[in-house]
Amino acid sequence: MSEKLSASLEDYIEAIASLAGSSGETRAADIADALGVSRPSVTVALRALASRKLVNYRPYSTISLTENGRIRAAEVLRKHRILSRFFNEILGADEELADSAACRVEHAIGEEITDRLVEFLAFIDNCPMAAKGGFEYDSENRKEFREKVTEYGKN
Residue 150 and residue 136 share a domain: yes
Residue 116, pLDDT > 70, answer yes
Last residue of a domain, one of 24, 41, 71: 71
CATH (domain of 19): 1.10.10.10
Q: For the whole model, what pTM was predicted?
A: 0.77
pLDDT at residue 91, rounded to an integer = 86
pLDDT at residue 134, rounded to an integer = 46
pLDDT at residue 6, rounded to an integer = 94
Any domain includes 1: no
Residue 24 and residue 94 share a domain: no
pLDDT at residue 104, rounded to an integer = 93
Q: Which domain holds residue 130?
A: 76-154
A 10 A CB-CB count for 58 gives: 9
Q: What is the pLDDT of residues 17-56, one digit of tens each?
A: 999 988 999 999 999 999 999 999 999 999 999 999 999 9
Q: At what angle do helices 7-20 and 67-85 cross, to 10 degrees?
A: 100
Residue 145, pLDDT > 50, answer yes
Share of the chain above pLDDT 90, in %: 67
The Cβ-side half-sphere exposure at 108, using a 13 Å CA radius, reads 6
Pinpoint the alpha helices (H) of the chain: 7-20, 28-35, 39-51, 67-85, 95-105, 111-126, 128-131, 139-154
Residue 120 and residue 99 share a domain: yes
Residue 113 and residue 89 share a domain: yes
For residues 17 and 15, give the distance between their C-alpha atoms in angstroms, rounded to a whole number: 5
Q: What is the pLDDT of residues 75-99, one digit of tens each?
A: 999 999 999 999 988 888 899 999 9
* Nearest by Cα to 17 from 5, 31, 29, 32: 31
Any domain includes 146: yes
For residues 121 and 91, give the distance between their C-alpha atoms in angstroms, rounded to a whole number: 12
pLDDT at residue 1, rounded to an integer = 46
Residue 115, pLDDT > 90, answer yes
Q: What SS3 class is residue 26?
A: strand
